[in-house]
Amino acid sequence: MTDPNMADAVYIEPLKPDIVAAIVRKEQPDGIIAGLGGQTGLNITAELAEMGVLAECNVKPLGTPLETIYVAEDRERFRTTMEGIGERVPKSHAVYDSNDYQWLAAELGLPAIVRSAYTLGEVAAA
């Protein structure tokens, strides 16, 4: 919350894991809502967990569990999870460079949706 009438403190700082970690260590919140702030909130919450800050400060992720963030961000894990519950998913394949993409486009056909890993917030169509 950025409303000083509602929030105990308002910080105007760059949204970087080390800066948010310092704020978490100072403020000692009970929880953090990863889903607020879109992709940035998800990424920073995951990074704070990986840095050990959430455990160190006993901060609980609220709303979206960390494992859900990791599954949703990893295209292969997401596909496997969906198939495991009987959901149909489009044909897909991870690519790592333009040669892979060209092969995949020829294999699967066009139009194709190209989506980079670890970016829940953006999609680009080719």
Domain residue limits, the chain: 1-73, 89-126
Angle between helices 75-84 and 66-73 (to 10 degrees): 100
Nearest to residue 34, comparing CAs of 24, 45, 23? 45
Q: What is the pLDDT of residue 118?
A: 54
Which pLDDT band holds residue 91 (cuts at 50, 70, 90)? Answer: confident
0.95 cut: is pTM over it? no
With pLDDT > 70 as the criterion, what percentage of the chain qualifies?
Answer: 89
pLDDT digits (tens, 9 = 90+) for 10-31: 999 998 999 999 999 999 999 9
Q: What is the pLDDT of residue 32?
A: 92
The class of domain 1-73 in CATH terms is alpha beta
